[in-house]
Amino acid sequence: MLLVLIVVNLTTAIATAKPLTADVILIGAGIMSATLGVLLKELDPKLTIAIYERLDAVAAESSDAWNNAGTGHSAFCELNYTPQLPDGSVEISKADKIAEQFELSKQFWASLVQQGSLPEPGSFIHTIPHMSFVWGAANVEYLRKRYQALSASPLFKGMEFSTDPALLEEWMPLV
């Protein structure tokens, strides 16, 4: 399936004030609009979709890899997704939900690869190590509890935790 999306520079569109008819208008030409646009086209190929972007390039802001949102988001290192509860335990339901959603995204992309709409996955899926770094006894204890809670979930299999200075230096030589 060939997907054709109209990407319009928002500043130009406002300045020229040309009316545009579309069934769906997506704001921002990043990964979220691209994925939603493709998903909607898969569900209804007759839809016309317009994407408005204020910048002069697609995926140049939040979806850019330097801004983290350009990465597949699996909730590996975002501490705010795993709050410590008053009893000292760590709640992982939000992290689990986000990791599940990313797995669904990968399944969707795999279906697009199978039908020839996307290239070989190695051209756009790149596994990158994620790391949470904390200091102070209380924060280290929280991270240990977080690791124990998350590693019990199959979605976080293979996660590692260490307080060994030699291993930490190996993992992050510049810190």
Is the pLDDT at 2 greater than 50, yes or no?
A: no
d(CA 129, CA 111) in angstroms, rounded, equals 25
d(CA 155, CA 158) in angstroms, rounded, equals 9
The predicted pLDDT at position 9 comes to 54
Coil/strand/helix, residue 124:
coil
In 63-161, which residue ranges form alpha helices assigned H by DSSP? 93-114, 137-151
53-108: pLDDT as tens digits: 988 888 888 777 677 655 567 878 889 999 999 999 999 999 999 999 989 988 99
144-161: pLDDT as tens digits: 999 999 999 999 999 999
Contact indicator for 44, 3 with CB cutoff of 8 Å: no
Query: What does the buried/exposed string (b/e) look like for 54-69 if buried means 16 or more CB atoms within 10 Å of the residue's CB?
Result: eeeebbebebeeeeee
d(CA 39, CA 109) in angstroms, rounded, equals 10
